[in-house]
Structure 1
Amino acid sequence: MKFGFNLLLWTSHVREEHWPILDKLKAAGYDGVEVPMFEGEPSHYARLGNRLRDAGLGATGIGVMPGGGRSAVSADPAERAGALGHIKWLVDCTAALGGDLAAGPFHQPLGEFTGAGPTADEKARCAEVHKPAAHYAATAGIALSVEPLNRFECYFLNTALAAKALVDAVGEPNYGFLYDTFHFNIEEKNQARAIHATAGAFNHFHISENDRGVPGTGPIDFASVFKALKATGYDGWMTVESFGSALPDLAAATRVWRPLFDKPEDVYLGAIKLMKEGWAAA
């Protein structure tokens, strides 16, 4: 098991001013970080990758499908081509970083709705985009992990079984889905059952509390999550995702309108204790 921390707690674009955070996370016991990739060129992430290696940290990348002519589910071939190009950019940035996995909801743009659930045609179109994306990622030694979101953030991919069906449709060994305890706290009636039902289809795991604050301080039953996850034989990244209210754009996107913790240390120190003790006890 590798324990990671998503740097979105501090920023949506990691710069040199954020580098001291890396040493703090390493000292806390983390094995790596998840780097937000919403802008920039591979050369920027290559410099960051050098700093991560100096700190003794591994990495994953995470991004979104930004819209603006890019959507993997669109009926417009040009928008699907734009979506494939965007995923390739995400892969290039992750490879430059030295990461081993690129994750995120790179299926549809966030916050776009049709008034209905996903159609069979949309599911087929998404798989047709993600299959060559997985081929491209494989040439760089990168795994792809598509993220389902709750129904208030997207309509195309909401549940663990829907995500497994997409993984099966793509059918590539380096393609799986990202299991996130925040989203599935909303969408799944029992997270342990969802984990068992989709074992082998998820290849990345996010630990996040129901309010996006400090994991372990809310109602999510992490003990049952860890027990179920361990029983599946999962041995990839377990990465903390928590958001604050200090970044207005990110706060707006994640609907964080109030402080969820006193200071960042509360999150990363509390989370590493929860994960390591919980995993050992599972």
Structure 2
Amino acid sequence: MKYSVHAGLWMAQWTDEITPILRIVADLGYDGVEVSLLGMSDEKAEALGSAVRDHGLEITCSDGLGPETDITSDDEAVRAAGLKHLEWAITTTAKVGARGLAGVVYAPWGVFDPANKAKRAARSAEAFAAVHPVLEAHDVTLGIEAINRFETDLVNTASEAVEMATASGSSRVGVLLDTFHLNIEEKDVRGAIADARDKLVHFHVSDNDRGVPGSGHVPWSDVKAGLNDAGYDGWIVAEMFVIAGNPASADLNIWRNIEPEATDAARRALAFMKETFS
């Protein structure tokens, strides 16, 4: 396993400078850092890639879609804009030196249209098929993240994520699972992870309140057993959002301080990850 932490833990806004965070991550002993492409430019991507390497880290990327780039839209122009955005995200991921891009890349976060769920899911899969050549050209793997029912109606469970990835027909499209969302949506956490074995390409950890893993009631023995059943040995990323009162946390409905301090949360998370998964 390789251990990483999402830079969003320290960010007040998605446009914050990431470079100072890299020294903290490296000093804590993480193998890598995950960064959001929100607020990213081509110039920032090139500088970030160089800085990541200078700190001896590896990097993965996360991203999402907005209403203007909704690949499930009935509007052909909006779907085309969504494809263009996915292509940009893939090339930018490669530009920073990453080989993994994952997140809510199938529809805008917080948009619900359950009556048209099947049609929307099919359009997402078609879009992923269309960007397969770009993924291949840049040696990037795309991970579809299953998130909870309060954030999307389209992909809530591991099985739904696997179904969409399979429907794309792309060997470069897989699944990202996250313990925060698994804890809400899955009746059998171990089974859900294990059943995703053929498509599982990325994994996020936090506890039930998005805080330090091991500090809440996520069934970690089942998580570990599921990853072992799946034969997973890739990135495990601490994706925690713990400090209230800033725009980035408000985007994720963090209304109180989940942990007292971000760097201490990252330190405790890494210790738990190594103890649990190594």
For the residue of structure 1 that corresponds to 2:5, the secondary structure is: strand
Structure-2 separation of matches of 1:235 and 1:138: 22
How has the CA–CA distance of structure 1 residues 117 and 59 changed in structure 2, closer, same or farther, with 3 Å as cutoff? Answer: farther
Once the two structures are superposed, what CA deviation does each residue of 1:126-170 show, in whole Å capped at 9, x if it has no partner? 111111223212211111111121110111111111111001101
How has the CA–CA distance of structure 1 residues 247 and 178 changed in structure 2, closer, same or farther, with 3 Å as cutoff? Answer: farther
Structure-1 separation of matches of 2:145 and 2:275: 26
Q: Are 2:248 and 1:250 equivalent residues in the alignment? A: yes
Unaligned 5+ runs, structure 2? none
Structure-2 separation of matches of 1:222 and 1:162: 22
Counterpart in 2 of 1:43? Answer: 43
Q: CA deviation at 1:247?
A: 5.7
How has the CA–CA distance of structure 1 residues 118 and 199 changed in structure 2, closer, same or farther, with 3 Å as cutoff? Answer: farther
Q: CA deviation at 1:273?
A: 0.9
For the residue of structure 2 that corresponds to 1:166, the secondary structure is: helix
For the residue of structure 2 that corresponds to 1:35, the secondary structure is: strand
Amino acid at match of 2:85: H
Correspondent of 2:143 among 139, 142, 145: 145
Q: CA deviation at 1:106?
A: 1.1
Structure-1 separation of matches of 2:95 and 2:258: 33
Q: CA deviation at 1:108?
A: 1.1
Q: Are 2:114 and 1:112 equivalent residues in the alignment? A: no
For the residue of structure 2 that corresponds to 1:225, the secondary structure is: helix
Once the two structures are superposed, what CA deviation does each residue of 1:167-220 show, in whole Å capped at 9, x if it has no partner? 110121111011011111111012101011111212100011111111110000
Counterpart in 2 of 1:9? Answer: 9
For the residue of structure 2 that corresponds to 1:119, the secondary structure is: helix
For the residue of structure 1 that corresponds to 2:232, the secondary structure is: coil
Amino acid at match of 1:82: A
Unaligned 5+ runs, structure 1? none
Correspondent of 1:193 among 158, 168, 191: 191
Q: What TM-score do the two structures reach when normalised by structure 2?
A: 0.95
Which aligned segments of 4 or more residues in structure 1 are displaced greater than 3 angstroms? none
Structure-1 separation of matches of 2:65 and 2:105: 4
Q: Is the 8 A contact 2:73 2:79 kept in 1?
A: yes
How has the CA–CA distance of structure 1 residues 275 and 118 changed in structure 2, closer, same or farther, with 3 Å as cutoff? Answer: farther
Identity %: 35
Q: CA RMSD in A?
A: 1.5
Q: Is the 8 A contact 1:245 1:258 kept in 2?
A: yes
For the residue of structure 2 that corresponds to 1:238, the secondary structure is: strand
Q: CA deviation at 1:264?
A: 1.2
